[in-house]
A and B are shown apart, each in its own frame.
Chain A
Amino acid sequence: MTSPHPLNAWLNATIEATAEFSTTTLDAPLTALDSSNLPLDLTGCFVALVGEVGSLQIGLASDSVGCQTLAKALFGSDEDLPEEDVGDALGEIANIVAGGVKKRMASGEISLALGLPIVMEGHIRLTERQQIAQVDVLLGQVQTRLLIVSSKGLS
């Protein structure tokens, strides 16, 4: 029997928060994917959640076409957007999702502060002291990877 991933509760909160964003803002459901065609190198955005229990990064990423699609949906645009606007839109999605995770995970015992969004391009390299949890989902029509990176020991 395998033990559950230490970040499972955070990952579930991230999925719930992303689903809430998807239905409210994109008017589309969130679907979990068993497998996806996402490449290793992705573009995305992370927002830090920092508290006494430790810190973690909540992020989402997709390929360049997926990022454009998400950004255009947020801006209500039919035209392709400049890189700066795509990063801004991804940052806002990550911010909303991280806020949703905070709402779900914060309690009287756990206080968490939200950081500002950071855009990433490429793939993540973990140190020995870090752990990652991830799941691929269909956000609207866009294959998207939801990611959580934290120091080991956080659960």
Chain B
Amino acid sequence: MKKLLIVDDSKAMRMIVRRALRQANLGEHQVDEATNGEEALEKLRGSAFDLVLADWNMPQMNGIDLLKAVRSEGMDVKFGFVTSEGTDDIRELAMQNGAQFLIVKPFTPEALHDALQPLGLA
């Protein structure tokens, strides 16, 4: 069973991502949640995940700092952003630091499926 971590400070958006994952034909999966980068990092240190889906702008530790911390600690978990930050420079920064994809909000379950399929997750 695939294990996913949704990282977003908005409860509504965590709910939307969960719903989209169900609609994206992901197969059997288990979802955990974190409300910011610090909380996510603790969870990633304590357990193995197949995928992190993170927001960009969050209090305490934002998404890009989480990604940098994850990579600097040698974790090779697949990492994607689901964010309202859709400019080219943000996308470039994400990829340079080891993200696999960036989905811009608002998004459809199909967009999520298309991002996860090349990673063998859908």
A contacts, CB < 8 Å to B: 20-21, 24-25, 71, 74-76, 85, 88-89, 91-92, 95-96, 98-100, 102-103, 106, 114, 116
Instruction: From B37-45, B70-78, B101-109, give the one contacting chain A.
Output: B101-109
Cα distance A88–B55 in the bound complex, in angstroms: 15
Interchain nearest-CB distance for B55 vs A (Å): 9
- Which of B57, B83, B84, B104 lies at the interface centre, i.e. has the most chain A CB atoms within 10 A of its CB? B84
Count of CB-CB pairs between chains A and B under 8 Å? 57
Interchain residue pairs with CB less than 8 A apart (24):
A24-B107, A71-B12, A74-B12, A74-B16, A75-B11, A75-B12, A75-B15, A85-B12, A88-B12, A89-B10, A91-B10, A92-B10, A92-B13, A95-B105, A96-B105, A98-B84, A99-B83, A100-B84, A100-B86, A103-B104, A106-B87, A114-B57, A114-B85, A116-B59
* Residues B11 and A95 in contact, CB atoms below 8 Å apart: no
* Residues A99 and B85 in contact, CB atoms below 8 Å apart: yes
* Residues B106 and A24 in contact, CB atoms below 8 Å apart: yes
Q: Does B2 contact A (CB under 8 A)?
A: no
User: Contacts A95-B84, A99-B86, A114-B84 given: A25-B106 contact, CB under 8 Å?
Assistant: yes
Q: Does B19 contact A (CB under 8 A)?
A: yes
Cα distance A91–B12 in the bound complex, in angstroms: 9
B contacts, CB < 8 Å to A: 10-13, 15-16, 19, 57, 59, 83-87, 104-108
Contacts of B105 in A (CB 8 A): 95-96, 99
Among residues of A, the one whose C-beta sits closest to the C-beta of B18 is A76
Contacts of A76 in B (CB 8 A): 15, 19
Contacts of B16 in A (CB 8 A): 25, 74, 92
Cα distance A117–B42 in the bound complex, in angstroms: 25
Cα distance A154–B87 in the bound complex, in angstroms: 22
Among residues of A, the one whose C-beta sits closest to the C-beta of B84 is A99
Contacts of A74 in B (CB 8 A): 12, 15-16
- Which of A24, A74, A99 lies at the interface centre, i.e. has the most chain B CB atoms within 10 A of its CB? A99
* Residues B106 and A116 in contact, CB atoms below 8 Å apart: no
Cα distance A20–B59 in the bound complex, in angstroms: 26
Interchain nearest-CB distance for A50 vs B (Å): 12
Interchain nearest-CB distance for B105 vs A (Å): 5
